[in-house]
Amino acid sequence: MPLHPKIQRALEKNARLPPMESFSPAEIRAGEMAAYAAVPRREVAHVEDRLIAGPRGELKVRIYRPDAEGGHPLMTFFHGSGFVICSLDTHDGLCRQLCACAGAVVVSVDYALAPENKFPAAVDDCLAAVRWSGEHAPDLGGDRLRHVLAGDSAGGALALVTAMRIRDEGGPPIKAQILMYPVADYPDPEPPSYRERGTGCGLTAAAMHYFWGHYLRDRADGEHPHASPLRATDFTRLPATYVMIAEYDPLRDEGERLVDKLVAAGIDTTCVRYADMNHGFMSWVGIIDRSAEALQAACEWLASRL
């Protein structure tokens, strides 16, 4: 299928812009804030920021509640970023949509970004935040036994790695996880989708190398399963998993390989491949119809697992 026409028009509009990797992380972060400014902010009952204890000091989270009642599903969410950019604010719109659609208390995590804090700082922040969410679930209006992890892109990697660490190192029970076009592997070697979809589709292969270069301390970190979860040796005893894959995405192939490994390990796995979408399409719920359809499908799957 061709790209969705709204996405195609946006790519054509931005085609003359300098490549992302020609800017500093600080410059990209400022530009991302401007890009996300047009995303609709759906009303939810309550939104608040809190500071919690993290591995290196205070860690900021943003909590979304669908209403004042208790016993809702609890979702800990990790935003996409390439491990370098984006924030609670860039993904505020998506978290509001998840809160309303899933009827869940959403805890969005402001984990440490590279290059200021390289691997494994973000991984450690996310594990601490999930443990905090589980411990404080009743106070947040959430159900500790219906705890879900979710994330897009780099956030998808962080969700999966956190699920693996909780399995191996202990933490609150995790019922399910939603991985939106996740980063799953350090691209050495590059998969075919890096060549097929690495230019002209939004996220580029060059940008991914730029992000990895800022995130890792050295190339050896790329072999570590906490950086590249696809390189883990054990995919058993993970929660039910929903994976979204976009055709026009350099991360397409690693997402599909991840699904194969989960299925082979006997994990309850659902994969939906969006043939007309590119990387990051879930950020445009309220603007692009297919994004809203994808959100609804994920929330329906989640309800069936909870």
Point out the residues that are catalytic.
153, 249, 279
CA of residue 252 relative to chain centroid, distance:
14
Q: Which of 298, 237, 201, 223 shows the shortest CA–CA distance to 2? A: 201
Which letter, b or e, does each residue of 88-104 get, where b requires 16 or more Cβ atoms within 10 Å of its Cβ?
Answer: bebbbbbbbbbbbbbbb
Rounded Cα distance between 182 and 271, Å, is: 12
Side-by-side strand order, sheet with 46-54 = 46-54, 57-65, 105-109, 72-78, 142-152, 176-180, 240-248, 269-278
Q: What is the dihedral of CA 33, 250, 244, 61, to 10 degrees?
A: -30
Q: Quick check: 251 and 198 in contact, CB under 8 A?
A: no
Asked if the bond preceding 115 is cis, omega within 30° of 0, the reply is yes
Rounded Cα distance between 57 and 51, Å, is: 10
Rounded Cα distance between 66 and 95, Å, is: 11
The backbone region for 269, taken as left when phi is positive above 0, alpha when psi lies in -120 to 50, beta otherwise, is: beta
